[in-house]
């Protein structure tokens, strides 16, 4: 466990302020949810990812789409890659997504990039035809489904990725 060397007082309402530097480092934005765990005499705060709680479903979806499309299929939350199927799995799984991907997610629309390089993480980029579809549930952007291919982006691929994000969003809303 890393020590931050910071001490904070709990106020009369039981609140504690998480310092800005820590929130920035962990990409915790105002209004985001945190999970609270107790481990012996420790209180552990962890960023809450609704999609992260659907790991089994996400893995089934990426595996099925990879088998059908024979392409890399990635599912992200707004911080990291949570499920990947294809030859990029070992490279990106559980890694933090790039600011570019987060920007596309927050645009709240389907993005098609043709034969363009895109930073997938801060240090690594991929080249190809890339489709990014945000997952929007209850009005919030929670992540994305990404397909990367060297083939032409067809209406079939667009329909499949739209269906996938709709299914994930409906599952999160229920």
Q: From first to last of the 174 residues of the chain, give the pLDDT tens digit.
A: 666 678 888 889 888 888 888 888 777 778 777 878 888 888 888 777 776 677 889 999 999 999 999 999 999 999 899 999 999 999 999 899 999 999 999 999 999 999 989 999 999 999 999 999 999 988 889 999 999 998 999 999 999 999 999 999 998 887
Please state the domain count of the chain.
2
Same domain, 34 and 112: no
Tokens read off for 24: 């920035």
Same domain, 80 and 134: yes
CB burial string 86-107: b at 16+ within 10 A, e below: bebbeebeebbbbebbbebbee
Enclosing domain of residue 64: 52-173
The CATH number that applies at residue 70 is 3.30.450.40
Position 129 scores a pLDDT of 95
Same domain, 62 and 19: no
Same domain, 95 and 162: yes
For residue 41, give Cα distances in angstroms to 4, 70, 174: 18, 48, 35
Same domain, 16 and 80: no
Same domain, 88 and 6: no
Distance CA 112, CA 66 (A): 18
Position 3 scores a pLDDT of 63
Same domain, 39 and 18: yes
Position 29 scores a pLDDT of 78
Distance CA 132, CA 68 (A): 18
Same domain, 25 and 76: no
Same domain, 4 and 18: yes
Position 124 scores a pLDDT of 94
């Amino acid at each position: 466990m890393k020590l931050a060397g910071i001490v904070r007082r709990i106020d009369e309402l039981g609140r504690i302020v998480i310092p800005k530097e820590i929130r920035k480092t962990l990409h915790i934005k105002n209004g985001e949810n945190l999970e609270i765990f107790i481990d012996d005499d420790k209180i552990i705060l962890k960023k809450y990812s609704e999609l992260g709680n659907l790991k089994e479903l996400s893995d089934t979806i990426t595996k099925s789409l990879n088998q059908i499309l024979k392409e890399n299929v990635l599912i992200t939350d707004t911080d990291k890659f949570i499920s990947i199927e294809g030859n990029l799995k070992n490279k990106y799984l559980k890694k933090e997504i790039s600011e570019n991907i987060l920007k596309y997610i927050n645009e709240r629309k389907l993005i098609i990039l043709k034969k363009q390089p895109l930073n997938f993480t801060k240090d690594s980029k991929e080249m190809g035809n890339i489709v990014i579809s945000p997952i929007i549930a209850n009005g919030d952007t929670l992540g994305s489904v990404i397909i990367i291919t060297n083939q032409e982006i067809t209406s079939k691929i667009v329909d499949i990725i739209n269906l996938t994000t709709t299914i994930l969003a409906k599952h999160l809303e229920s």
